[in-house]
Amino acid sequence: MKFFIDTANLDQIKEAHDMGILDGVTTNPSLMAKEGIKGEEAIMAHYKAICEIVDGPVSAEVISTDFDGIIAEGQILAKIHENIVVKVPMIKEGIKAIKWFTDNGIRTNCTLVFSAGQAILAAKAGATFVSPFIGRIDDSSWDGVDLIEQIVDIYNAQGFMTEVLAASIRNPLHIVRCAEAGADVCTCPLSSILGLLNHPLTDIGLAKFLEDAKSLK
Ligand code: E4P
């Protein structure tokens, strides 16, 4: 399973990249707004800065909702850097645009996916990635990882090439369960990635080894 980081924060992206486990980045308008980035020029420069840190797919989301607007925006985003993947919402115009981008060699990430039916449409249109939002599903008292399992099964049965990108990750257990369910990619906040490191027996064991090592000097 590939690890993407779900943030537009350059320090966090660098920190995950420095661990040597980072395969890509996802952003969305809310994450960009959180970093205080304003205006087209600043947005473009920020995506470029992210692409210069991480040698892997970097999802940049369109904010248009009509076909022509999505295509125009996506073409501009795709020109920023070869790592850019155009993130398109799961709406009728979005599906039409994903098909157009696919036919024109531009990679896409179909976002805001909450059902297997939506995931089938995204794959039919040729999306490079499909992003089911598992944390937001959990927030509505359904099990988000069940949806990952269902989409993985469908894609395997049908031979769809679209990669299942588990999004809206809230904790390290989500990452573990997505790996178990066969997700191709998990996009996570840095806190969830770092949470994978934690085990009290590791801390106790390391303290003991370091204490005993003093007698070796
Ligand atoms: C990433 O592609 C999604 O936009 C993101 O994971 C959504 O996460 P959230 O539900 O925590 O906002």
Torsion of CA 43, 8, 69, 81, to 10 degrees: 70
Active site (catalytic) residues: 87
What is the maximum span of the chain, computed from C-alpha positions, in angstroms?
71
Residues 6+ apart with CB under 8 A from 175: 169, 186, 188, 192, 193, 196
User: What is residue 187's three-state secondary structure?
Assistant: strand
Rg (CA), the chain: 19
What is the number of the ligand 1 atom nearest to the C-alpha of 165?
2
CA of 204 to the centre of ligand 1 (A): 35
Angle at alpha carbon of residue 150, lines to 100 and 129, rounded to 5°: 30
Tell me which residue has its CA closest to atom 5 in ligand 1: 168
Q: What's the confidence (pLDDT) of residue 1?
A: 98
* Residue indicated by tokens 């999802």: 59
Q: What's the confidence (pLDDT) of residue 23?
A: 98
Closest of 186, 138, 137, 195 to residue 166, by C-alpha: 186
Q: What's the confidence (pLDDT) of residue 209?
A: 98
Mean pLDDT, consecutive 10-residue stretches, the chain (217 aa), reads 98 98 98 95 97 97 98 98 98 98 98 98 98 98 98 98 98 98 98 98 98 96
**What is the rounded distance in angstroms from the CA atom of residue 82 to the CA atom of residue 149?**
31
Ligand 1 binding pocket mutation candidate from 2, 4, 6 (most atoms within 8 A of CB): 6
Rounded to 10°, the helix 144-158/116-124 angle is 40
Tell me which residue has its CA closest to atom 7 in ligand 1: 168
